[in-house]
């Protein structure tokens, strides 16, 4: 299934506009569009941690806090989500493009 | 995002406030899938020198952004005070200290290079530099690496 077939509301750059509409199926569809499907266990670990963190703080976490606290370090993050991890993680987790500098 | 986009940043200043712009930009580039290289030269060598990296300072003298008379900035203790204040603010922004930042961007795939001439001038060998430094290279080699890159001088 693609994000279009799943009827996901996205902005011009393909980021979900409402994180509460997110489902694991959408994450897989986003991952396919980013060229990293199917998502493996480690990628899910990052996505699940990010969703939990974002839901509790109300803000999308920085890549630095993801690498420090999700149990997946910087090197691995760049391997799991190559060529632009910030954008790829945000898309798969159903959040808008991260605006932070770090 | 164009996959060929590349960024090459020359860091020539070694104060704490001048260390961050290069590090932040290189990290941001990597986060969005842009290739990035950092080239440290002259006073910028302090940023990658083992016994200096954790002791970079913000110097109020000669810095008009401090908005204080020059002689006040020159009083004993003012440099340390400005440095402590800036470090606190940086921490609040979730920015790592300089050495941890170097480690992070290196893990993120950013190249970290030291200038051969500056190293010779300051009598620095490979073992004097932090582990994250990929190599000590000459200006020509840097320019070869930077071919096609957008270049920034800080």
SS (H, E, C) chain B: CCCCCEEEEEECCCCHHHHHHHHHHHHHHHHCCCEEEEEECHHHHHHHECCCHHHCCCCCCCCHHHCCCHHHHCCCCHHHHHHHHHHHHHHHCCCCCHHHHHHHHHHCCCEEEEEHHHHHHCCCCHHHECCCCCEEECHHHHHHHCCCCEEEEC
C-alpha closest to that of A99 among B106, B107, B28: B28
CB B132 within 8 A of CB B26: no
> What percent of chain B has pLDDT above 70?
98
Q: What is the chain B residue with the closest CA to A85?
A: B31
Question: What pLDDT digit, counting tens, does each position of A10-57 carry?
Answer: 899 999 998 889 999 999 999 999 999 899 999 999 999 999 999 999
Size of interface A-B (CB pairs under 8 A): 40
**Considering only CB atoms, which chain B residues are within 8 Å of A67?**
104
Are B10 and B152 in contact, with CB atoms under 8 Å apart? yes
Report the pLDDT averaged over residues B39-57.
96
Q: What percent of chain A has pLDDT over 90?
A: 75
Angle at A62 between CA B47 and CA A92, to 5 degrees: 135
Range of the domain at A52: 19-93
A84 and A70 in contact (C-beta within 8 Å)? no
Distance CA A16, CA B118 (A): 48
Mutation target among B2, B20, B31, B132 for the A interface, most CBs of A within 10 A: B31
Q: Select from B51, B44, B37, B2 the least CA-distant residue to B20.
A: B44
Does A36 reside within a domain? Answer: yes
The set of catalytic residues of A is: 101
Q: Are B27 and B104 in contact (CB under 8 A)?
A: yes
A100 domain-assigned: no
Does the beta-carbon distance from B95 to A102 stay under 8 Å?
yes
Instruction: Name the CA radius of gyration of chain B, rounded.
Output: 16
Domain ranges of chain B: 6-56+96-153
Q: Are B114 and B137 in contact (CB under 8 A)?
A: yes
Confidence of residue B70 (pLDDT cuts 50, 70, 90): confident
Number of domains in chain A: 1
Whether A99 and chain B come into contact, CB under 8 Å, resolves to: no
> Which tokens belong to A7?
């009827």
pLDDT above 60: residue B2 = no
Report percent pLDDT > 90 for chain B: 82
Question: Nearest-CA residue of chain B relative to A83?
Answer: B33
A contact residues 1-60, partner B, Cβ 8 Å cutoff:
none
Average pLDDT, chain A: 91
How remote is the C-alpha of B86 from its chain's centroid? 16
| Average pLDDT for B92-110 | 94
Q: Would residue A102 count as lying in a domain?
A: no
- Fold for B6-56+96-153, please state it: Hypothetical Protein Ychn; Chain: A, (3.40.1260)
Contact in structure between B21 and B154 (CB atoms under 8 Å) = yes
- The residue ranking higher by pLDDT, B1 or B43, is B43
Which pLDDT band, with edges at 50, 70 and 90, does B26 fall under?
Answer: very high
What is the share, in percent, of chain A residues with pLDDT greater than 70?
100
In a domain, A68, yes or no: yes
Chain A interface mutation, best of B28, B33, B101, highest count of A Cβ atoms under 10 Å: B33
Does a structural domain hold residue A8? no
């Amino acid at each position: 299934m693609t994000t279009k077939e799943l009827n996901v509301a996205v902005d011009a750059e393909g980021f979900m506009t409402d994180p509460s509409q997110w489902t694991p199926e959408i994450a897989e569809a986003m991952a396919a569009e980013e060229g990293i499907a199917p998502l493996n266990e480690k990628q899910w670990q990052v996505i699940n941690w990010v969703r939990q963190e974002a839901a509790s703080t109300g803000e999308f976490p920085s890549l630095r806090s993801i690498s420090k606290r999700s149990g997946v370090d910087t090197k691995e993050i760049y391997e799991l989500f190559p060529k632009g991890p910030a954008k790829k993680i945000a898309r798969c987790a159903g959040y808008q493009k991260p605006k932070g500098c770090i | 995002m164009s996959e060929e986009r590349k960024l090459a940043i020359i860091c020539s200043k070694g104060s704490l406030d001048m260390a961050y712009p290069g590090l932040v930009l290189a990290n941001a580039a990597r986060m969005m899938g842009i290739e990035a290289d950092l080239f440290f030269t002259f006073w910028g060598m302090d940023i990658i020198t083992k016994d200096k990296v954790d002791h970079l300072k913000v110097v109020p003298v000669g810095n008009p952004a401090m908005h204080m008379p020059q002689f006040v900035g020159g009083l004993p203790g003012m440099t340390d005070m400005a440095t402590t204040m800036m470090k606190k603010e940086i921490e609040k922004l979730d920015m790592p200290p300089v050495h941890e930042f170097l480690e992070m961007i290196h893990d993120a795939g950013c190249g970290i290079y030291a200038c051969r001439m500056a190293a010779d001038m300051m009598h620095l060998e490979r073992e004097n530099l932090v582990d994250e430094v990929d190599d000590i290279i000459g200006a020509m080699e840097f320019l070869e690496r930077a071919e096609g890159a957008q270049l920034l001088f800080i």
